[in-house]
């Protein structure tokens, strides 16, 4: 009986030692996995952070200017984005070299051009009569007028050759006559060589800051 009890105690001690060894091994594996996981997660976070920062820090450039929202702007002369996107000049200022400068001529708190403003021709409040336009600061009778507005009979689709003579959507006014368009996009006349919305082919729109020249989108 005594020998049997000693054998039981010895067996219990061996089992306990074996259990401790397994626990230590498990903890070691768990620790290594935790470190690897932490390192991987930290690497992903750092890479994402670096990538995001780089994208945000990069200038929103577009062809010939800076991309402000969805429009290409020239911060040197753009009154709505003067010097930086969203920096708007007051109505009596104009953007010059990226800074808002007072206008040389102001009427009613807004900048004006006495040489070509039909409502302020030559001076504030001097409006040209219907049928005349401001040219060089003087009201000059229009060569052609329809309904009191100046028109050009040679190229006006609504007044082609005469007042009220409208061309159809598939025609254009050329030399005072409505002629069938050589190219139609969506039933309307287009010039594939110069149309920024249909450059070279129907529906091919140029990106902000580009212009259509010879059927190709190029920097302005």
Predicted confidence pLDDT, tens digits, the chain (220 residues): 445 445 455 555 555 454 434 434 443 444 444 343 333 222 323 233 333 332 232 345 687 688 888 888 889 999 999 999 999 999 999 999 999 999 999 999 999 999 999 999 999 999 999 889 999 999 999 989 998 889 999 999 999 999 999 999 899 999 999 999 989 999 889 999 999 999 999 999 988 888 899 999 988 7
Strand locations in 87-180 (E): 93-96, 99-102, 106-107, 110-111, 132-135, 138-141, 145-146, 149-150, 171-174, 177-180
- Cα angle 37, 42, 45 (rounded to 5 degrees) comes to 125
Q: What b/e string do you get for 48-72 counting C-beta neighbours within 10 Å, with b at 16 or more?
A: eeeeeeeeeeeeeebbebbbbeeeb
């Amino acid at each position: 009986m005594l020998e049997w009890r000693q054998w039981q105690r010895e067996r219990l001690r061996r089992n306990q030692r074996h259990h401790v060894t397994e626990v230590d091994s498990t903890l070691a594996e768990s620790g290594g996995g935790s470190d690897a996981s932490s390192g991987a997660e930290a690497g992903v976070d750092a890479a994402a952070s670096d990538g995001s920062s780089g994208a945000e820090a990069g200038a929103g450039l577009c062809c010939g200017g800076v991309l402000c929202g969805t429009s290409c702007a020239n911060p040197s002369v753009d009154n709505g984005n003067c010097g930086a996107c969203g920096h708007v000049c007051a109505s009596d200022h104009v953007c010059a070299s990226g800074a808002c400068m007072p206008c040389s001529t102001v009427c009613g708190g807004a900048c004006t051009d006495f040489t070509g403003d039909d409502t302020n021709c030559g001076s504030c409040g001097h409006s040209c009569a219907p049928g005349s336009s401001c040219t060089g600061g003087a009201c000059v009778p229009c060569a052609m007028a329809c309904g009191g507005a100046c028109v050009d009979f040679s190229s006006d689709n609504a007044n082609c050759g005469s007042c009220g003579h409208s061309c159809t959507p598939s025609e254009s006014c050329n030399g005072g006559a409505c002629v069938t368009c050589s190219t139609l996009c969506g039933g309307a006349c287009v010039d594939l060589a110069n149309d920024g919305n249909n450059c070279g082919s129907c529906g091919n729109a140029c990106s902000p800051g580009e212009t259509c020249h010879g059927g190709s989108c190029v920097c302005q």
